[in-house]
Amino acid sequence: MWKTIKYNLIILLVLLVLVEGILWFFPVPDPYENAKKNMFFPPIGNMYIESQFDPNLQLEFAAEEGLLGFESYKQKTKFTVNNIGFRGEELKMPKPANEYRIFAIGGSSTESLYIDDEDVWTKVLENDLNQVAYQNKTVKVYNAGKSGDNIQDHISMLVHRIIHLQPDEIIVFCGINDVTRLLLDKNPLKLNVIKNEKKETSFTQMLGMFLYEFQIPRRLYYVFKNEESDLETISITSSYKKKVKKTQARPVVNQLPETDYGNYTNKIKSLIGICQANNIKLIFATQVVSWDTNDETLKNWHWMTSRGGVRYNAERLQQKVDSINAITIQEAASFEIPVFRTDSIIPKTSDYLYDDCHFNPEGSKKMGNELATFMKALNK
């Protein structure tokens, strides 16, 4: 009997090694990657910016079948990042004399992960402005959007990643992530509330980090990870149907947390002050969100009403977004900063949006074209 058990264990071990070797040709990310970096390397170089792309990154994304407005996307879309870490062409330093340099800062609606390089609204804007020799120079628009970023992140992006790159104009497209942070973030000022105590790593944690060096345990992790992390995960092939299903399974909560808009207001003023001090033109774009849409098809693709394990009333969430947009408009008017009213210019229909706030290819093109028209009118 012992020989049989020993024989079976050897076979099992060989099979595991064989499967592990095969899976390394189709790797999945290490869920402990960030923890390992923080454990063994000092957190320098990324202290003030929570998220950024690595330079010269090249990715391919695919839209799931039935995603609104992606019928023409039969192949995988290209998502490329330049030598500085932004979507757009190579950025040259020092800036060429004939270049007019624009940066777009925002969250996922700016980043536009599932939109091809040629269709993303920042590229459409660049092409449109170059048709009329905007500012009598060659326009380059760089996309500094990053999923999940809010007003605090936008300031960090501007100050630490963009100012030194000699921008002529900045477009800030913000709103929905600020609503989320205002509702859920208990520490919006990013105060250091964690005591600086040396923490010992447990045997279980060390074992987990060791096991996640292998592909089989990594796949088991992703199979059993919790639902909330699923909602926040960005996949190579979009998985919005799955996110929608999980959201719709939750009961609706009508009572929203109290909201203090003071931090957002101050950050808007900070962005204005930074640009004015550096003689940079600034345009704000309000956030378009479809939580009050009459398009029933689009309503069926809402998933972002679910936050922090709770599904909130969509119409009441929309009121929060409207309040954020109103603050942006009011503060911009105080300093004579132009505002592109995305929320009223882009129709809240499935012709232009595929979920709560993200542009489909047609919406991305409309955003780029309409913003170009707005900017050209400002300079007449």
Query: CA–CA distance from 112 to each of 106, 119, 164, 182 (Å)?
Result: 10, 10, 25, 23
Q: Please tell me the predicted confidence (pLDDT) of residue 232.
A: 45
| pLDDT tens digits, one per residue of 92-117 | 999 999 999 999 999 999 999 999 99
Nearest to 268 by CA among 152, 374, 371: 152
- The pLDDT assigned to 131 comes to 97
**pLDDT tens digits, 212-240:** 677 777 677 666 655 444 444 455 788 99
Q: What is the dihedral of CA 125, 126, 132, 137, to 10 degrees?
A: 140
Write down the pLDDT at residue 231.
43
CA-to-CA distance for 62 and 65, rounded, in angstroms?
A: 9
Residue partners of 191: CB distance under 8 A and separation at least 6:
none
> Over 70: is that where the pLDDT of 329 sits?
yes
- Of residues 380 and 276, the one with the higher pLDDT is 276
Residue 377 to residue 373: CA distance in whole angstroms: 6
* pLDDT at residue 39, rounded to an integer: 45
DSSP state of 102: E
Question: What values do phi and psi take at 251, rounded to 5?
Answer: -70, 150
